[in-house]
């Protein structure tokens, strides 16, 4: 059983997508369509060498989405998912690739999501930190006991969890994590407290856009971040997508559930190999690979 995985923010790199653009007329058409939908030449930034320009949230998120979705298109007949999952932003790529949403709708939502998240970051300062070498339960307990807002945000793989919240609360939690035996607890260079209650203003803005977007039943189960189980019902997908910005990314749980449901081959579609690394940390024995142009 084949699972196709779609990466989230952080996987971007200068020059991304240029090979796809040059390899296929269909890819070329989709990139041009994206420029029209977004109202700026995202291809110029993606194919160029300005890493700083690519790091801006309103560019990064659509860029990763485009790379993933267009790659799944140019993979042609080798894109044969029995199930799909995406990490945070990657969930939108997964839904479009699984035909639950149109390319246009997915791109518009991703763009709105990026702008809403940026606004929330400006409005409510926050940050995130990676905690290594502690079990999930201990991390959750430390967060619960720490003053201020701090929560478990990204369950990436056993022994690697990202926490999110107010700047001071993250500092206190990092100290407490080290005292509890963490190998490392280090703040991340991010602009805000993603997947925490601090993203509520962004969730509210995006909820309206998601409500007004047509979402259909996908061609295969989508293991959503919020639920960590395979879902094929459009209404449930929509509800989970609305919750996603303030809820944790249950990546470990999603992969474990896919394995339990019979997945034995994981293909990462999009820039980088981060998700393949996480899958290997969850189960060394499974086969992982990167999507390739047909």
Q: Which residues are catalytic?
A: 88, 195
- Tokens standing for 161? 């969890």
Residue 200 CB neighbour total at 10 angstroms? 13
Mention every residue, 6+ apart, whose C-beta is less than 8 A from residue 172. 146, 147, 148, 150
Task: Report in angstroms the alpha-carbon separations of 57 from 6, 75, 121, 214, 245.
Answer: 18, 27, 11, 25, 14
Distance CA(100)–CA(232), nearest Å, equals 9
Residue 189 CB neighbour total at 10 angstroms? 7
Distance CA(131)–CA(152), nearest Å, equals 10
* Under 8 Å between Cβ of 103 and 16: no
- Distance between terminal CA atoms of the chain? 20
Sign of CA dihedral 189, 195, 196, 201: positive
What's the per-residue H, E or C state across 57-75?
A: HHHHHHHHHHHHHHHHHHC
Task: Report in angstroms the alpha-carbon separations of 291 from 180, 216, 275.
Answer: 40, 25, 12
């Amino acid at each position: 059983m084949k699972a196709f995985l779609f990466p989230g923010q952080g996987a971007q790199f200068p020059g991304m997508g240029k090979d796809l653009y040059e390899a296929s007329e269909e890819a070329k058409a989709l990139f041009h369509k994206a420029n029209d939908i977004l109202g700026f030449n995202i291809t110029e930034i993606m194919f160029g060498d300005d890493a700083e320009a690519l790091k801006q949230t309103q560019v990064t998120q659509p860029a990763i989405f485009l790379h993933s979705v267009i790659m799944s298109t140019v993979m042609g007949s080798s894109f044969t998912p029995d199930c799909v999952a995406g990490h945070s932003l990657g969930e939108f790529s997964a839904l479009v690739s699984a035909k639950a949403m149109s390319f246009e709708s997915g791109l518009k939502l991703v763009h709105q999501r990026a702008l809403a998240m940026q606004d929330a970051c400006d409005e409510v300062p926050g940050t995130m930190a990676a905690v290594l070498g502690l079990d999930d339960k201990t991390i959750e307990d430390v967060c619960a006991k720490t003053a201020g807002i701090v929560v478990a945000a990204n369950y990436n793989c056993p022994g690697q969890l990202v926490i999110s919240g107010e700047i001071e609360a993250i500092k206190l939690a990092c100290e407490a994590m080290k005292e509890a035996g963490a190998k490392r607890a280090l703040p991340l260079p991010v602009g805000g407290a993603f997947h925490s209650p601090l993203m509520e203003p962004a969730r509210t803005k995006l909820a309206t856009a998601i409500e007004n977007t047509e979402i259909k039943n996908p061609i295969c189960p989508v293991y959503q971040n919020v639920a960590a189980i395979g879902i094929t019902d459009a209404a449930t997908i929509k509800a989970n997508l609305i919750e996603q910005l303030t809820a944790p990314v249950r990546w470990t749980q999603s992969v474990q559930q896919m394995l339990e449901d019979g997945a034995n081959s994981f293909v990462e579609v999009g820039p980088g190999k981060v998700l393949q690394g996480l899958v290997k940390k969850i189960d060394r024995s499974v086969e992982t690979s990167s999507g390739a142009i047909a």
